[in-house]
Amino acid sequence: MTADSKPFLRVVRGDASPEELAALVAVLTARARAAAASRAAAGPGAPPSRWADRSRLVRAPLGGAPRPRGPGAWRASGLPR
């Protein structure tokens, strides 16, 4: 380690053995590689998941879709547009 570099991990509380630190580093490395592989498999043009899409939180414009009218309008008013 050089003089300007900071450690990647720091033990805040307790006294971890070298074996415990090695196990932690192995798990973090495996998870990082798995996440990178899944991002690469999805491709750059993959759409975001519906859970991550924040546009669903935006209210529909007032003048947008016409409101339902006529018989059954009360039923259609509660359905998503």
Question: According to the model, what pLDDT value does residue 27 have?
Answer: 93
Q: What is the dihedral of CA 13, 19, 22, 28, to 10 degrees?
A: -60
> pLDDT, tens digit, for every residue of 37-52?
887 776 677 777 777 7
Q: What is the pTM of this model?
A: 0.44
H or E element, residue 26? helix 18-42
Structure confidence by residue, pLDDT tens digits, 7-33: 777 888 888 899 999 999 999 999 999
Per residue in 46-71, pLDDT (tens digit) is 777 777 777 777 766 666 666 667 78
Residue 33's pLDDT is: 94
Amino acid at 54: R
Domain ranges of the chain: 16-40
